[in-house]
């Protein structure tokens, strides 16, 4: 088995899908940039996270988020090009709570047409922000 650990930035918001059997899978790409003088080279790794963690982490893995992922490395070929892949075993979100709050605020502003639980007095309005487990 090939195990990797890479640190980088998420390329675009993660996408949650379900297999025909109902298994959740979260797909996202991580860009690992190598700097050599004035030139940069970025290796993109297509990541897939399976199971309940995929569902619970979907909202936290967004474009620009710094992450460290580890898992089984692989490769796929599409139209003659090779792509690095990883079946993720562990994800560590990097950055401060403030980074996440800025992203959440931007998402709320872009989705202002959707009512929030607070606007409806729903159960989510009593949820303390500091009780998030990570």
Q: Which residue has the tokens 């004035």?
A: 38
Global pTM reads 0.67
The answer to whether 59 touches 70, Cβ cutoff 8 Å, is: no
User: What token pair was written down for 67?
Assistant: 């992450």
Q: Which residue has the tokens 């992922």?
A: 69
Which of the four CATH numbers 2.40.50.140, 3.10.105.10, 2.60.120.260, 3.40.190.10 does domain 3-111 have? 2.40.50.140
Collapse the DSSP code of 72 into the 3-class scheme (helix H, G, I; strand E, B; otherwise coil) and give the result: strand
Nearest to 49 by CA among 66, 72, 65: 72
Return per-residue pLDDT of the chain as tens, 134 residues: 688 999 999 999 999 999 999 999 999 999 998 888 889 889 999 999 999 999 999 999 999 999 999 999 999 888 888 889 999 999 999 975 445 444 555 554 444 444 444 444 444 444 444 544 44
130/67 Cα distance (integer angstroms): 21
Give the domain ranges of the chain.
Answer: 3-111
């Amino acid at each position: 088995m090939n195990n990797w650990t890479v640190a980088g930035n998420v390329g675009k918001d993660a996408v949650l899908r379900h297999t025909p059997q109902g298994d959740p899978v979260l797909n996202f790409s991580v860009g690992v940039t190598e700097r050599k003088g004035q030139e940069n080279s970025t290796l993109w790794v297509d990541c897939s996270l399976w199971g309940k963690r995929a569902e619970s982490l979907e909202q936290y893995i967004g474009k620009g988020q710094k992450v460290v992922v580890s898992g089984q490395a692989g490769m796929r070929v599409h139209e003659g090009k090779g792509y690095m892949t990883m079946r993720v075993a562990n994800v560590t979100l990097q950055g401060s709570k403030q980074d996440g709050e800025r992203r959440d605020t931007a998402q709320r502003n872009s989705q202002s047409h959707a009512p929030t639980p607070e606007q409806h007095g729903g159960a989510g309005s009593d949820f303390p922000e500091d009780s998030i487990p990570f």
